[in-house]
Amino acid sequence: MIPVTRLPAPQELLELLTSGTDRVVKKGADSAAADSVWGSSRAAKREIRVLLHLMAPAIQRCMYCLDSQGTDIDHFQPKALAPLRTFDWLNHLLACSFCNSNAKREEYPCDDETGERLLLDPSVDDPADHLTLLPVSGTYDGLTVKGLESIKVFDLNRETLRRGRVRMFRLCRDLLPLWHAKVRRGDLTGAGETALVLREEPFGDVLRTLYRRARTPTIADLTYGPELGAALVEWRNAQA
Ligand SMILES: [Zn+2]
Q: Tell me what pLDDT residue 239 has.
A: 85
**Distance from the CA of 75 to the center of ligand 1, in angstroms?**
14
CA 107 to chain centre: 18
**Distance from the CA of 98 to the center of ligand 1, in angstroms?**
6
**Distance from the CA of 190 to the center of ligand 1, in angstroms?**
31
Q: Tell me what pLDDT residue 59 has.
A: 96
**Distance from the CA of 95 to the center of ligand 1, in angstroms?**
5
Q: Tell me what pLDDT residue 67 has.
A: 97
Q: Tell me what pLDDT residue 110 has.
A: 95
**Distance from the CA of 218 to the center of ligand 1, in angstroms?**
36
**Distance from the CA of 50 to the center of ligand 1, in angstroms?**
18
**Distance from the CA of 80 to the center of ligand 1, in angstroms?**
21
DSSP annotation string for 1-43: ----PPPPPPHHHHHHHHHHHHHHHHTTSSHHHHHHHHHT-HH
**Distance from the CA of 154 to the center of ligand 1, in angstroms?**
8
**Distance from the CA of 23 to the center of ligand 1, in angstroms?**
30
DSSP annotation string for 128-154: GGTEEEETTTTEEEESSHHHHHHHHHH
Listed in sequence order, the residues at least 6 apart from 91 whose beta carbon sits closer than 8 Å to its beta carbon are 75, 76, 77, 82, 85
Residue stretches of the chain with pLDDT short of 50: none
Q: Tell me what pLDDT residue 72 has.
A: 96
What predicted TM-score, i.e. pTM, was given to this entire model? 0.94
DSSP secondary structure code for residue 91 in this structure: G
**Distance from the CA of 156 to the center of ligand 1, in angstroms?**
9
